[in-house]
Amino acid sequence: DGGITQSPKYLFRKEGQNVTLSCEQNLNHDAMYWYRQDPGQGLRLIYYSQIVNDFQKGDIAEGYSVSREKKESFPLTVTSAQKNPTAFYLCASSTLAGGLETQYFGPGTRLLVL
């Protein structure tokens, strides 16, 4: 059963704490993405990776970090430098076929600050 999974579904962060959101895909896709979604603001790109051991900053990378050590995995760390982390985080993966990019999303992780 192919797909993209995110865990946990809900995550609570204390002041000054780093937290890591998990994203795994078994679709054999080369590219993976992290988005943040806030009410009324749509999807905003945090980081993306087109290949293992390489990643690029998106539009709102400050306060976040990622790694891409395996093709299947793209974890996102929300650091204490991110002052407003409460949001819905979505991971996506894609493969480029014929110059066309279609993204497949995970179920999302909702991060809340205690």
Partner 1 sequence: SQKIEQNSEALNIQEGKTATLTCNYTNYSPAYLQWYRQDPGRGPVFLLLIRENEKEKRKERLKVTFDTTLKQSLFHITASQPADSATYLCALGAGNNRKLIWGLGTSLAVNP
Which residues here bind partner 1, judged by CB under 8 A? 31, 40-43, 45, 48, 50, 58, 88, 90, 92, 94, 96, 99-108, 110
Min dist CB 105 to partner 1, Å, is 3
Q: Which residue number, 97 or 114, has a Cβ lying nearer to partner 1? A: 97
Q: Which residue number, 78 or 89, has a Cβ lying nearer to partner 1? A: 89
Question: CA-to-CA distance for 25 and 31, rounded, in angstroms?
Answer: 10
Min dist CB 95 to partner 1, Å, is 10
Q: Which residue number, 16 or 98, has a Cβ lying nearer to partner 1? A: 98
